[in-house]
Protein backbone atom coordinates (compact mmCIF):
# COMPACT_ATOMS: atom_id res chain seq x y z
CA UNK A 1 0.00 0.00 0.00
CA UNK A 2 1.39 3.36 -0.91
CA UNK A 3 1.19 6.24 1.52
CA UNK A 4 -1.47 8.88 1.06
CA UNK A 5 -0.78 12.43 0.02
CA UNK A 6 -0.20 14.21 3.35
CA UNK A 7 -2.81 16.77 2.30
CA UNK A 8 -6.18 15.16 1.55
CA UNK A 9 -7.93 16.59 -1.49
CA UNK A 10 -9.89 19.71 -0.44
CA UNK A 11 -12.99 18.51 -2.34
CA UNK A 12 -12.90 15.22 -0.41
CA UNK A 13 -12.49 17.07 2.89
CA UNK A 14 -15.48 19.26 1.99
CA UNK A 15 -17.56 16.22 1.03
CA UNK A 16 -16.74 14.36 4.24
CA UNK A 17 -17.42 17.49 6.31
CA UNK A 18 -20.84 17.80 4.63
CA UNK A 19 -21.55 14.12 5.31
CA UNK A 20 -20.52 14.32 8.97
CA UNK A 21 -21.82 17.80 9.68
CA UNK A 22 -18.38 18.69 11.06
CA UNK A 23 -14.76 18.87 9.97
CA UNK A 24 -13.26 15.36 9.82
CA UNK A 25 -10.59 14.52 12.37
CA UNK A 26 -7.44 12.61 11.52
CA UNK A 27 -8.40 12.20 7.85
CA UNK A 28 -5.61 10.44 5.94
CA UNK A 29 -7.31 9.45 2.70
CA UNK A 30 -10.50 8.25 1.08
CA UNK A 31 -10.53 4.47 1.53
CA UNK A 32 -13.63 3.81 -0.60
CA UNK A 33 -15.89 5.81 -2.86
CA UNK A 34 -19.56 5.36 -3.44
CA UNK A 35 -20.46 4.77 -7.10
CA UNK A 36 -21.71 8.39 -7.12
CA UNK A 37 -18.07 9.45 -6.68
CA UNK A 38 -18.26 10.78 -3.11
CA UNK A 39 -16.26 9.27 -0.26
CA UNK A 40 -18.22 6.77 1.82
CA UNK A 41 -15.31 5.43 3.90
CA UNK A 42 -12.21 7.29 5.01
CA UNK A 43 -9.00 6.10 6.58
CA UNK A 44 -8.15 7.96 9.75
CA UNK A 45 -4.83 8.37 11.51
CA UNK A 46 -4.27 6.06 14.48
CA UNK A 47 -3.61 9.21 16.52
CA UNK A 48 -5.53 12.43 16.15
CA UNK A 49 -3.76 15.75 15.67
CA UNK A 50 -3.56 16.26 19.45
CA UNK A 51 -2.02 12.80 19.98
CA UNK A 52 -5.20 11.12 21.22
CA UNK A 53 -5.30 7.44 20.18
CA UNK A 54 -8.01 6.76 17.62
CA UNK A 55 -8.16 3.02 16.92
CA UNK A 56 -10.91 3.26 14.28
CA UNK A 57 -8.85 3.10 11.09
CA UNK A 58 -11.78 2.89 8.65
CA UNK A 59 -14.67 5.24 9.27
CA UNK A 60 -17.97 5.21 7.34
CA UNK A 61 -19.01 8.74 6.38
CA UNK A 62 -22.05 8.43 4.08
CA UNK A 63 -25.09 9.41 6.16
CA UNK A 64 -27.44 7.20 4.13
CA UNK A 65 -25.15 4.19 4.66
CA UNK A 66 -24.62 4.86 8.36
CA UNK A 67 -28.34 5.38 8.96
CA UNK A 68 -29.20 2.06 7.38
CA UNK A 69 -26.43 0.28 9.26
CA UNK A 70 -27.80 1.82 12.46
CA UNK A 71 -31.20 0.32 11.66
CA UNK A 72 -29.65 -3.14 11.37
CA UNK A 73 -27.92 -2.58 14.72
CA UNK A 74 -31.27 -1.67 16.28
CA UNK A 75 -32.78 -4.80 14.70
CA UNK A 76 -30.31 -6.95 16.65
CA UNK A 77 -27.75 -7.91 14.00
CA UNK A 78 -24.82 -7.19 16.36
CA UNK A 79 -26.29 -9.53 18.97
CA UNK A 80 -26.94 -12.20 16.33
CA UNK A 81 -23.38 -11.98 14.99
CA UNK A 82 -21.89 -12.00 18.51
CA UNK A 83 -23.83 -15.20 19.28
CA UNK A 84 -22.47 -16.75 16.08
CA UNK A 85 -18.91 -16.19 17.31
CA UNK A 86 -19.55 -19.04 19.78
CA UNK A 87 -21.73 -21.19 17.52
CA UNK A 88 -20.07 -20.89 14.10
CA UNK A 89 -16.34 -21.72 14.02
CA UNK A 90 -15.95 -20.52 10.42
CA UNK A 91 -17.52 -17.14 11.21
CA UNK A 92 -15.36 -16.84 14.36
CA UNK A 93 -12.17 -17.72 12.46
CA UNK A 94 -12.96 -15.19 9.74
CA UNK A 95 -13.68 -12.57 12.37
CA UNK A 96 -10.35 -13.28 14.11
CA UNK A 97 -8.60 -12.86 10.74
CA UNK A 98 -10.45 -9.56 10.22
CA UNK A 99 -9.16 -8.38 13.60
CA UNK A 100 -5.58 -9.33 12.64
CA UNK A 101 -5.95 -7.58 9.26
CA UNK A 102 -7.29 -4.43 10.92
CA UNK A 103 -4.41 -4.33 13.41
CA UNK A 104 -1.81 -4.94 10.71
CA UNK A 105 -3.18 -2.15 8.52
CA UNK A 106 -3.37 0.32 11.41
CA UNK A 107 -0.01 -0.63 12.90
CA UNK A 108 1.67 -0.23 9.51
CA UNK A 109 0.70 3.45 9.74
CA UNK A 110 1.41 4.05 13.44
CA UNK A 111 1.40 1.34 16.13
CA UNK A 112 -0.73 2.22 19.13
CA UNK A 113 0.84 -0.46 21.33
CA UNK A 114 -2.48 -2.18 21.89
CA UNK A 115 -4.27 -5.24 20.58
CA UNK A 116 -7.53 -3.30 20.59
CA UNK A 117 -8.77 -2.86 17.05
CA UNK A 118 -12.32 -1.62 16.57
CA UNK A 119 -15.92 -2.74 16.51
CA UNK A 120 -15.48 -5.18 19.41
CA UNK A 121 -13.06 -7.41 17.53
CA UNK A 122 -12.28 -10.19 18.17
CA UNK A 123 -14.50 -11.04 21.19
CA UNK A 124 -17.82 -9.49 20.17
CA UNK A 125 -19.52 -7.52 17.43
CA UNK A 126 -19.93 -4.03 18.80
CA UNK A 127 -20.23 -1.61 15.87
CA UNK A 128 -21.48 -2.66 12.45
CA UNK A 129 -20.37 0.69 11.00
CA UNK A 130 -16.73 -0.28 11.61
CA UNK A 131 -17.21 -3.66 9.97
CA UNK A 132 -18.97 -2.24 6.91
CA UNK A 133 -16.23 0.39 6.56
CA UNK A 134 -13.57 -2.33 6.84
CA UNK A 135 -15.29 -4.42 4.16
CA UNK A 136 -15.70 -1.47 1.79
CA UNK A 137 -12.09 -0.34 2.30
CA UNK A 138 -10.46 -3.77 1.99
CA UNK A 139 -12.95 -5.63 -0.19
CA UNK A 140 -15.21 -8.62 0.36
CA UNK A 141 -13.85 -11.69 2.11
CA UNK A 142 -11.78 -9.79 4.70
CA UNK A 143 -14.42 -9.14 7.37
CA UNK A 144 -17.37 -11.57 7.57
CA UNK A 145 -19.40 -9.24 9.82
CA UNK A 146 -19.04 -6.42 7.29
CA UNK A 147 -19.75 -8.71 4.33
CA UNK A 148 -22.92 -10.00 5.95
CA UNK A 149 -24.07 -6.53 6.99
CA UNK A 150 -23.74 -5.23 3.43
CA UNK A 151 -25.73 -8.23 2.16
CA UNK A 152 -28.46 -7.55 4.73
CA UNK A 153 -28.57 -3.88 3.72
CA UNK A 154 -29.27 -4.80 0.13
CA UNK A 155 -31.88 -7.38 1.14
CA UNK A 156 -33.72 -5.08 3.51
CA UNK A 157 -33.80 -2.04 1.20
CA UNK A 158 -33.99 -4.10 -2.02
CA UNK A 159 -30.80 -2.62 -3.43
CA UNK A 160 -27.66 -0.75 -2.51
CA UNK A 161 -27.75 2.26 -0.19
CA UNK A 162 -26.29 4.50 -2.89
CA UNK A 163 -29.02 3.78 -5.45
CA UNK A 164 -30.78 7.09 -4.79
CA UNK A 165 -27.68 9.09 -5.77
CA UNK A 166 -25.34 11.37 -3.79
CA UNK A 167 -26.06 11.60 -0.08
CA UNK A 168 -25.01 15.24 0.21
CA UNK A 169 -24.44 18.24 -1.98
CA UNK A 170 -20.85 19.33 -1.65
CA UNK A 171 -20.20 23.05 -1.14
CA UNK A 172 -19.39 24.54 -4.51
CA UNK A 173 -22.08 22.53 -6.28
CA UNK A 174 -20.18 19.32 -6.99
CA UNK A 175 -21.64 15.98 -5.88
CA UNK A 176 -18.83 13.80 -7.04
pLDDT digit string, tens, across residues 111-164: 988 888 899 999 999 999 999 999 999 999 999 999 999 999 999 988 887 877
Q: Which helix (H) or strand (E) holds 28?
A: strand 27-33
Q: Model pTM?
A: 0.90
Instruction: Reduce the DSSP state of residue 74 to 3 states and report it.
Output: helix
Does pLDDT of 95 surpass 90?
Answer: yes
pLDDT tens digits, residue range 20-35? 999 999 999 999 999 9
The separation between CA 104 and the C-alpha centre of its own chain, rounded to angstroms, equals 16
Q: How many residues does the chain have?
A: 176
The most distant pair of C-alpha atoms in the chain lies apart, rounded to whole Å, by 51
**Strand order through the sheet with 27-33:** 27-33, 39-44, 58-60
Average pLDDT, whole number, for the chain?
A: 90
Interatomic CA distance for residues 128 and 149, integer angstroms: 7
Phi, psi torsion values for 93, nearest 5 degrees: -65, -40
Q: SS3 helix, strand, coil % of the chain, rounded to 5?
A: 45, 10, 45
Under the banding of pLDDT at 50, 70 and 90, the label for residue 172 is: low
pLDDT tens digits, residue range 40-55? 999 999 999 999 998 8
Amino acid sequence: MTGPDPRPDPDDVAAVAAQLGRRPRGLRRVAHRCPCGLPDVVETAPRLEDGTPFPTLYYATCPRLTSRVGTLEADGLMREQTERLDADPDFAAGYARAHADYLAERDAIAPLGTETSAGGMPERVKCLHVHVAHTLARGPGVNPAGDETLERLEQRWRGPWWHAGPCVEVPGGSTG
